[in-house]
């Protein structure tokens, strides 16, 4: 499937190793990894940042191979899951940034155009999240109160 608002095809990417057992050189146990995941989530890390820090500091290539469940499932079990999915959060954050810029530079027509593209992506992404129950069925993105949903210092609000 191609990109939404550009010409790229987007077919390249890395593939996971076939062997699903943790590597022999992986030292931390499943309980240690779960504790670290919860500790990092309480500090305000997003699930992708948690995975990156586990990879870099503890040498855990895939959390699922060690614990048997993914990072987001571990967070849900412990009540630390984000209220808004991470990809949607970052799109809202981008829209808020563009909106702040447009408050200062009202003549930036290119910025206005790209804000419309980002907001279109937000609306398109919320549809499946509302259907499967990740977001409330009446959840709606509105640009005038988006800074309360996904501003820069709101990670503590979104991630409990």
Per-residue confidence in pLDDT tens, the chain, 160 aa = 467 778 877 777 888 888 888 888 889 999 999 999 999 999 999 999 999 999 999 999 899 999 999 999 999 999 999 989 999 999 999 999 999 999 999 999 999 999 999 999 999 999 999 999 999 999 999 888 887 764 434 433 343 3
Phi, psi of 132 (to 5 degrees): -90, 0
Tokens 């050189």 — which residue?
Answer: 25
pLDDT tens digits, residue range 104-117?
999 999 999 999 99
Condensed to tens digits (0 to 9), the pLDDT of residues 76-102 reads 999 999 989 999 999 999 999 999 999
Pair 80, 160: CB distance under 8 Å = yes
- Helix (DSSP H) and strand (DSSP E) numbers for the chain: 8, 0
C-alpha 127/C-alpha 159 separation (Å) is 22
Distance (Å, whole) CA 88 – CA 126:
8
Residue 149 pLDDT: 65
Q: Cβ distance 96 to 153 under 8 Å? A: no
Cα(58)–Cα(36) distance, rounded to whole angstroms? 10
Q: If you compute the radius of gyration of the chain from its CA atoms, what whole number of angstroms results?
A: 19
pLDDT for the residue 9: 79
Instruction: Provide the 3-class DSSP secondary structure of residue 50.
Output: helix
Please give the Cα distance from 125 to 118 (Å, whole number): 10
The per-residue pLDDT for 153 is 41
């Amino acid at each position: 499937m191609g990109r939404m608002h550009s010409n790229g095809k987007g077919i390249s990417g890395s593939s996971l190793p076939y062997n699903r057992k943790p590597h022999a050189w992986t030292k931390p146990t499943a309980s240690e990894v779960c504790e670290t995941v919860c500790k990092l989530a309480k500090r305000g890390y997003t699930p992708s940042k948690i995975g990156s820090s586990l990879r870099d500091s503890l040498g855990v290539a895939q959390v699922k191979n060690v614990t048997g469940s993914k990072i987001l499932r571990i967070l849900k079990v412990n009540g630390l899951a984000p209220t808004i999915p991470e990809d949607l959060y970052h799109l809202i954050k981008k829209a808020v940034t563009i909106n702040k810029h447009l408050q200062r530079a009202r003549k930036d027509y290119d910025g206005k155009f790209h804000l419309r593209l980002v907001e279109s992506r937000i609306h398109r992404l919320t549809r499946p999240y509302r259907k499967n129950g990740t977001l409330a069925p009446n959840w709606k993105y509105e640009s005038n109160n988006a800074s309360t949903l996904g501003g820069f210092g709101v990670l503590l609000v979104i991630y409990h």
